[in-house]
Amino acid sequence: MTETSGTGGSPDVEFAPELTRDLFAAPPTATRPKYRWWMPLAFTDDAELAAELRQMRDAGAGGAEVAAFGVAGAGNDQNPFLEEFGFGTPKWVGKVETMLAAAQREGLGIDLTIGPRWPATVPTVHDINDPAVSKMLVFAHEFHQGGSQRSGPLPTNYDIRPPAGARTTLVAALVAKCVTPGTSDASPPPRLLVRASVQDVTAEVTDDSLTVTFPGDDSETYVLIVFVYTPTGVALSGFTPTGPNYALDILSTAGTRAITEFYDTTVLTPAVRELLHRSRRSDLFEDSLELGETQKWTEDFAREWANRRGYSPLTVLPALCGASQQGMFTENELFFDFDDGSGPRIRTDYRHTHSDVYIANHLDGLRHWARERSLRTRIQPYGTPIDTGEAAAHIDVPEGETLAFGGINTDYSNIEDYKVVASGAHVSGAPVVSSEDCAFDRAVWSTTAGGDRSPRSALRAIHMGFAGGVTQVVWHGFPYLTAGPPGPDPQTKWPGMSYGGNTDYGEAWGAKGSPNWGDYRLVNDALARVQLAMRQGVARFDCAVYRHDFGMNGTWTTGVGDDTLLRSTSELATAGYTYEYLAPGHILRRDAEVRDNTLFPHAGGYRAMILRRQSTMTIAAARAVLSFARDGLPVLVVGDPPAHIPGHDPSGERDKELAEIIAQLMAQRSTHTVAEDEDLPNALRALGIEPAAAPVDAPGAFL
C-alpha cells in the first residue's frame, strides 16, 4: 500500500484494511457503499442534513457524494434567490462545513462534486471568453476556380456558429486542390482534397483579411479553409448568482486552475480544511464528460500535437472537418478528407493528443492539488477521446457507471468496460474502483434488490461491476427531503427532491415511504463485505490484452471506441481465463517488468500478453512488448501482427521502424500466433497456462 502525498494524505490501508473475522462481520465505513445526495443548493435545514446522514449510516452506508441541483419554484433559478442560496455562496460554504461536521459525527465521509450538476463549472467562470472555458475547433470555407484570385475578409460560414459574444482565434488558413473539378457544397461527402497540394497561407492573413491567387487553371477547383478555435458556449444556469457559468476546458491548465483557485479561495475555508484533514475520507468528484458533440481544442493544442506526434498538424487539419467530438466519424459524415488515405491516421493523432493533454493538464493537475488538501480525486474519465485505461491510472478513485456501461437491459450487457477502468487502478496500486450504480431509466420507486435480469434489478447490475473489478458502489441517488421555498408552486415535502422530479432516473433512496428501504441495511452490509474482500491483496490475472483506444464502447458510449473489447461470453472467458486490458501507458511505466515469465509480478501478475488483431502499435509500446518477450513473457498474436503506427507518418520512417521491431518480436521463441480468438484457450494450455477460474462440472462441485 502507498501513502498519498501532501500534508493530509491518508494511507490506503484505511480503504483496504486487512480482512479479519470481526471486520467481515461489521465492515468499517470506509469500505461501505455511498449515496449520491441530491442537494437543493443551500436551501437546506441543518437538522435535516444531520438526520439524513443518520439515515444513511443506519442503512449501512459509508458516506455521501454531495450533488447540488436546482431548486423548484418560480424565481428560484435566478437572483436574488441564488445570491443567498446558490452554489458557491457563503451560505453554500457554510452548508459544506455543516455536512462535513455532521458526517464526521456519524463516522461517514463526504465527497464534493466540482460544481452543480454536470459538466463541471465554477461560479468564477462566467465570461464566455474566459481562458478557462471549453473551446472547439470550427472551420469556414470557400470554393474557387484555379487561377482566380480572392481578396477580402476571411470566410465566416463556420460549420458550427460561434456563440454570441465569443471571440475567435485563427489557427490556420489553408489552400488545397479538390480531387474532383467542380466540387461544391452540394457535392457528396467527403470532398476529397489532394494532400500534396495543401498550402499554409496563415502568414498572409492581415486584420482577418486575405488576398490569395489560387494555383492551376479554370479546369480545376480549389478551396480556402479557415480554422479557428472559439468557446463552445456550453454552460449551466440557475445554480449560482453569476450564471451562466461556462463548461471548463479539460485540455488546459487554465481550466483546471479555475477549479483549484475557486476551491482555495471560496470553499476551503480554514474550518473546512481542518474537517477534511481530520477525516481524510473525502473525494473531489467529476462526472462523465458530457460536453457536446463539437471538436474540442485549446490554445496550445497545435503545439502539443507537434511535440507529442512529431509533426505540425496545421496542414492536415482538413482531415478533421466534420469529424465531430470523437474525431473518428465515418467517411460519409466527413466534410473533407485526403486522397492519399491519410485521414484516419490523422484523426487518430487528434484523439491521441486529446487524451494525452487531458491526462497531463487535467487529471494530473487535479490529483496533485487534491492530495495536498486531504482530498482524493474520483473521476469518470470518458465521454471525449480518452484512453480510459491509461487515464484511470492517474486518478485516485477511477469510476465507471451502470448506465453508460450497459447496465443489464441491453444487448451490450457486458463487464468489459469496467475492466478497462479497473486496469488503471490495478497497475497504479489504487485499492478503490468506483461505480455510479443503478441510474435506471424511468425506474424511480421500482428498483428491486433481486438478482434477476429485469431492467430494475439493482444487485445484478452491481454484481456485473464487481465482476469487472469494481470495489465501491455509489448509489444513485438520495433526495434531500424538502418542500422547497414558499411560492406559487405546490408545497409537497414528500418524497423529496429526486432527480428529474421522480419521473426519470432512479432511485429515490431514503426513509421516504418506500417499502424496501428497511431492507437496505442488509443489502449494504452484504455489499460492504464484498467490497472489503475485493480490496484485499493484489488483483491477479492470467492474461493482459493489449488495447490502445480512446473511448469506451458500452451503451451510450458506442461509437467512441473501436469494438476492441472482448465479449464476456468469449471463448477465453468461458474457458475460465481471467484477463484485463493494458494500455500503452501501462506497459511503459517504470515498474513494468517481467520476472519469472510474469508481467507486473507485483500487480496484475499477467502470465501472457495477447495482441488481438492489433493492426497498429506505437513504437514505444512495441519496444516494451519485445522486451517482455525477450524476458520470457508469452505473447500471443491473434491474426496479423501490427503493421503501422496508429497515427500519421508523413515520411514513412516510423512505420519502417515499427516493422523492424515487430519482425524481431515475431521471431522470439516466446511469441506465438493463432488465427482467431477461439484458438486462445488451447494455445494458452499448450504453454502450460491453465485458467485460474476454470468451470468445474462434477457432482458436488461448488464454484
Q: Indicate if the alpha-carbon torsion angle 290, 292, 295, 300 is positive or negative.
A: negative
At residue 560 the predicted structure's pLDDT band, cuts being 50, 70 and 90, is very low
- Cα separation, 90 vs 92, whole angstroms: 5
- Cα separation, 425 vs 431, whole angstroms: 7
pLDDT, residue 563, reads: 56
Q: Residue 496: name the closest of 45, 58, 65 by CA.
A: 45
pLDDT, residue 490, reads: 45
What's the chain's average pLDDT? Answer: 90
Per-residue pLDDT tens digits for 672-697 = 999 999 999 999 999 999 999 998 87
What average pLDDT does this structure show over 361-371? 98
Does residue 605 have a pLDDT over 50? yes
At residue 439 the predicted structure's pLDDT band, cuts being 50, 70 and 90, is confident
pLDDT, residue 487, reads: 57
Cα dihedral 625, 405, 40, 60, rounded to 10, equals -90
Biggest distance spanned by C-alpha atoms of the chain: 86
Non-local CB neighbours of 325 within 8 Å, separated by 6+ positions: 291, 292, 293, 294, 295, 296, 384, 385
pLDDT, residue 404, reads: 81
Which secondary-structure segment (H or E) carries 417? helix 416-428
Q: Give residue 138's identity as a one-letter amino acid code.
A: V
Out of 28-32, 161-165, 326-330, 339-343, pick the least confident.
Answer: 326-330
In the chain, the percentage of residues whose pLDDT exceeds 90 is 78
What average pLDDT does this structure show over 562-576? 83
pLDDT, residue 89, reads: 98
At residue 452 the predicted structure's pLDDT band, cuts being 50, 70 and 90, is low
Does residue 627 have a pLDDT over 90? yes
β-bridge pairing 199-200 and 169-177: antiparallel
pLDDT, residue 701, reads: 42
pLDDT, residue 488, reads: 47
At residue 455 the predicted structure's pLDDT band, cuts being 50, 70 and 90, is low
What average pLDDT does this structure show over 171-192? 97
At residue 459 the predicted structure's pLDDT band, cuts being 50, 70 and 90, is confident
What average pLDDT does this structure show over 258-278? 98
**How far is the first Cα of the chain from the last one, in angstroms, to the nearest whole number?**
30
Beta partners for 228? 138, 170
CB 646 within 8 A of CB 617: yes
At residue 138 the predicted structure's pLDDT band, cuts being 50, 70 and 90, is very high
- Cα separation, 415 vs 470, whole angstroms: 10
What are the angstrom distances between the C-alpha of 504 and each of 44, 200, 491, 516? 23, 50, 20, 19
pLDDT, greater one: 458 or 3: 458
pLDDT, residue 500, reads: 54
Per-residue pLDDT tens digits for 491-522 = 455 555 555 555 667 788 888 767 788 899 99
Does residue 411 have a pLDDT over 70? no
pLDDT, residue 446, reads: 73
pLDDT, residue 8, reads: 34
SS3 of residue 252 by DSSP: coil
At residue 557 the predicted structure's pLDDT band, cuts being 50, 70 and 90, is very low
**pTM to 2 decimals?**
0.94
pLDDT, residue 485, reads: 59
What average pLDDT does this structure show over 241-259? 98
CB 434 within 8 A of CB 472: yes
Per-residue pLDDT tens digits for 295-342 = 999 999 999 999 999 999 999 999 999 988 777 665 568 999 999 999
pLDDT, residue 499, reads: 54
In the chain, the percentage of residues whose pLDDT exceeds 70 is 89
Does residue 480 have a pLDDT over 50? yes
Does residue 665 have a pLDDT over 50? yes
pLDDT, residue 9, reads: 37
CB 103 within 8 A of CB 280: no
Per-residue pLDDT tens digits for 78-111 = 999 999 999 999 999 999 999 999 999 999 999 9
pLDDT, residue 342, reads: 96
